[in-house]
Amino acid sequence: MKCISCAAPVSRLDRSGRYVCDYCETEAVAKALSDSIDKLVLTGTASSLACPSCCHAGSKNGNTVMLETGSLDNQSILGCRTCQGVWIRRPSFALLVHGRRSEYTGPDRVSDFDLAVDGPRSHYDRLECPMCQSTMESFFYAGPGRVAIDSCAACERVWLDCGELTRIAEAPGRR
For the chain, 175 residues long, give each residue's pLDDT as a single digit of tens.
788 788 888 877 776 667 888 888 888 777 788 889 999 999 888 899 999 998 875 444 556 899 999 999 989 999 999 999 999 999 999 999 999 999 999 988 887 766 666 677 877 789 999 999 999 999 999 888 888 999 999 999 999 999 999 999 999 988 7
Same domain, 46 and 11: no
pLDDT at 85 (0 to 100): 96
Same domain, 59 and 98: yes
Q: Which residue intervals of 105-163 are DSSP H helices?
A: 115-118
> Do the beta carbons of residue 168 and residue 145 sit within 8 Å?
yes
Q: How many domains does the chain have?
A: 2
Query: Is residue 122 one of the residues assigned to a domain?
Result: yes
pLDDT at 58 (0 to 100): 47
pLDDT at 68 (0 to 100): 94
Same domain, 104 and 85: yes
Query: Is residue 175 one of the residues assigned to a domain?
Result: no
pLDDT at 116 (0 to 100): 61
Same domain, 96 and 129: yes
Query: Is residue 63 one of the residues assigned to a domain?
Result: yes
Beta bridge partner(s), residue 86: 79, 160
Q: Please give the angle made by the CA atoms of 61, 62 and 68, to the nearest 5 degrees.
A: 120
Same domain, 37 and 100: yes
Query: Is residue 54 one of the residues assigned to a domain?
Result: yes
pLDDT at 121 (0 to 100): 80
